[in-house]
Amino acid sequence: MPLYLGLDSSTQSLSAIVLEADGDRRRVAFESSLQFDEALPHYRTTHGVLPSDDPATAASPPLLWAEALDVMMARIGQSGLDLSRLAAISGSAQQHGSVYLNARAAPALAALDPSRPLAEQLGGIFSRNVAPIWMDSSTSAECAEIEAAVGGDRALAQRTGSRAFERFTAAQIRKFSKTNPAGYAATDRIHLVSSFLATLLTGWHAPLDPGDASGTNLMDLAACQWWPAAVDSTAGGLAIKLPAIAPASAVVGTLSDYWRTRYRLPPANVIAWSGDNPCSLVGTGLVREGRIAVSLGTSDTVFGLMREPRVDHTGTGHVFGAPTGDYMGLTCFKNGSLARERIRDAFGLSWDSFSEALGRTPPGNHGRVMLPWFEPEITPSVLTPGVHRYGFGPDDADANVRAVIEGQQMALALHSRWMNVTVDSIHATGGAAANRDILQVMADVFGADVYQLQVGNSAALGAALRAFHGGLAAEGVAMPWDEVVKDFAEPLAASRLPPDSSRHAVYRDLIDVYAACEAHALGRGPDPAARLDVFRKSNG
């Protein structure tokens, strides 16, 4: 039976999933994960990110991702699987991050020596040693400049799927071209994390898929091509530095000699890599409209498939290309797992004692509301971090635990309304989806059944399923997506967490109060004290 490999290079880790699939006989044959900070401590990252004094900047070393790939491929080589059956590989990567390569990259990648580790051969290929990542919020000026040059935020959103966002690649490239013109001039190719890793596998500059390219603010969403007006408004001479865009199921090359010789692998097809959210869409089985997934990873995201691109005119959400050739709507929150960890660690809790604390307070938390903006926030846009607490202080462990979870779930529900989906079931994924107490709050806030999935890492699974789909397509077999995801990406019936109607009623009240607190914290609304009082009186 053929094997299909999916890799996921996320903010904090690299994971791999190998699927064995032939018709209806399917199973996960191998799964492995490595945490960047622990496995590769010499890069000195924390949660996969380089330390910075400025909360607005966030970057990671691209060499770290390359070395992690080498370590993971060695593990796969030693997995005991019959790798001569490896038919195709695809990948998922954190979105928006950009990798800057000079003209030495192409010849160096084509001539890698399989007897030497990858990272020590890549030292000279970067025109910028660090890659700005999705957590960076330092480019508001560049966002404004790009929007002005293309005719405004609505024009940009209409064409590319999103207004200008600080973490999107266009604003990051513009900032680099302004602050380091020599480095920009020495840049031959700007990859996203996804196409950079695909490039390492194939040995030549691999194209980008429309899903990840729509996280740049540079792609014409309908045409799946770079939009010249945005490209020219971003930086001079950018058009020739961008990778090509290829369909998500395209074969972008075969595994280069480096990997074949070093780890005794076959010349497997490499299918275009994509972003972690487009991959998760497939990995959570959302290949039809009408359901949503919530990913509680380093970022919290809420997303769903869209047949037509319905752009968010409130300016919070995004429309990306989906691996199925459709579209996906997405809203992203930066204060996700790391905010939950901040509260857990502030009170010296484990995840178990965190759950116990959650159980000691009632839904609605006696009208205590938190906006957990430990770091600058993406949704809503908050550039200067600061946690806002209404009705309690930072020392009450139980109140803080419930407030962070409810605040995040309220924000997910409130800021996904633009997608206009009637939510009756949610597929939960990401590291924190292991926590059923958090998922129960999600069910009660949304008033929807929440399901866990058989394979927890939906981004890596989605990448493997994309390898499966693209690998078959390369052999002339067009398998429908419903069939691709069958058995692998289905919600576990036994995991269903139904909402409780009385708790949902509390949250229907609270969401308006939460919105009032958010407006106040953003300086756009009155003090919500009176509304909080009314809520407390009617909800205990």
- Choosing from 60, 94, 254, 379, the residue that interacts with ligand XUL (CB under 6 A) is 94
Signed CA dihedral, 36, 39, 41, 42: sign only? negative
C-alpha 241: how far from chain center: 24
13 contacts ligand ADP (rule: CB under 6 A): yes
Interface mask toward ligand ADP for 348-377; x: CB under 6 A? ---x--------------------------
Minimum separation from the CB atom of position 257 to ligand XUL (A): 31
Stretch that binds ligand XUL, among 264-272, 297-305, 401-409, 499-507 (CB under 6 A): 297-305
Nearer to ligand ADP, 10 or 256 (CB): 10
* Interface residue with ligand XUL, options 169, 277, 335, 365 (CB under 6 A): 277
Q: Which is nearer to ligand XUL, 253 or 329 (CB)?
A: 329
Give the residue with the Cβ less far from ligand ADP, 6 or 367: 6
Burial readout 351-368 (b: 16 or more C-beta within 10 A, e: otherwise):
eeebbebbeebebbbebb
Applying CB under 6 A, does 430 fall inside the site for ligand ADP? yes
User: Which does residue 398 touch among ligand XUL, ligand ADP, none (CB within 5 to 8 A, set by kind)?
Assistant: none
Sketch the per residue contact string, 431 through 470, with ligand XUL: x for CB under 6 A, - otherwise: ----------------------------------------
CA angle centred on 325, ends 321 and 329, rounded to 5°: 35
Residue 337 in the binding site for ligand ADP (CB under 6 A): yes
At 370, which helix (H) or strand (E)? Answer: strand 369-373
- Give the number of residues written for the chain: 540
Asked whether 464 and 8 are in contact (CB, 8 A), the reply is no
| Residue whose CB is less far from ligand ADP, 206 or 460 | 460
Write the DSSP symbol of residue 493: G
> What tokens does 524 get?
């756009």
Q: Where are the alpha helices (DSSP H) in 221-270?
A: 228-234, 257-263
> Applying CB under 6 A, which part among 9-17, 134-142, 404-412, 419-427 lies near ligand ADP?
9-17
State the binding partner of 431 from ligand ADP, ligand XUL, none, CB within 5 to 8 A by kind: ligand ADP
Which residue in this structure is represented by tokens 């972690």? 276
**Which range, of 7-15, 123-131, 221-229, 385-393, touches ligand ADP by CB under 6 A?**
7-15
Binding mask 212-231 for ligand XUL (x = CB under 6 A): ---x----------------
Task: Pull the structure tokens for residue 226.
Answer: 């770079």
Per-residue contact track with ligand XUL, 4 to 43, x per CB under 6 A? ------xx--------------------------------
Residue nearest to ligand ADP (CB): 431
Q: Which helix (H) or strand (E) holds 155?
A: helix 153-160
Question: DSSP secondary-structure letter at 453?
Answer: B
Looking at 8-16, 128-136, 208-216, 229-237, which segment touches ligand ADP (CB under 6 A)? 8-16
Helices (H), 265-311: 276-283
277 binds, among ligand XUL, ligand ADP, none (CB under 5 to 8 A by kind): ligand XUL
Distances (CA, A) of 393 to 61, 335, 398, 526, 534: 38, 19, 11, 20, 20
Residue 237: which region, alpha, beta or left (left: phi > 0; alpha: psi -120 to 50)? left
Instruction: Choose, by CB under 6 A, the member of 13, 45, 57, 95 that binds ligand XUL.
Output: 95
How far is it, in rounded angstroms, from Cα 16 to Cα 31? 6
Backbone angles phi, psi at 190, to 5 degrees: -110, 110
Question: Could you tell me which residues are beta bridge partners of residue 91?
Answer: 7
**Residue 205, helix vs strand vs coil:** coil
Instruction: Give whichever of 96 and 531 is closer to ligand XUL, judged by the CB atom.
Output: 96
Amino acid (1-letter code) at residue 236 = G
121: nearest Cα among 52, 51, 203: 203
499 binds, among ligand ADP, ligand XUL, none (CB under 5 to 8 A by kind): none
Min CB(514)–ligand ADP separation in Å: 21
* Among ligand XUL, ligand ADP, none, residue 13 binds (CB under 5-8 Å by kind): ligand ADP
Instruction: Give 40-68 as a DSSP string.
Output: -GGG--BTTB---SSTT--EE-HHHHHHH
Q: Which helix (H) or strand (E) holds 232?
A: helix 228-234
- Give the single-character DSSP code of 388: E
Closest to 370 (Cα-Cα) out of 390, 393, 385: 390
By CB under 6 A, is residue 276 in contact with ligand XUL?
yes
Among 61, 321, 431, 470, binds ligand ADP (CB under 6 A): 431
| Torsional class of 374: left (φ above 0), alpha (ψ -120 to 50), beta (otherwise) | alpha
Q: Under the criterion CB under 6 A, does residue 299 sit at the interface with ligand XUL?
A: yes
Q: How far apart are CA 402 and CA 407, in angstroms?
A: 8
User: According to CB under 6 A, which residues from 147 to 176 bind ligand XUL?
Assistant: 167
What is the contact surface with ligand ADP in residues (CB under 6 A)? 10-13, 297-298, 337, 340-341, 351, 430-432, 434-435
What is the contact surface with ligand XUL in residues (CB under 6 A)? 10-11, 94-96, 134, 167, 215, 275-277, 297-299, 301, 332
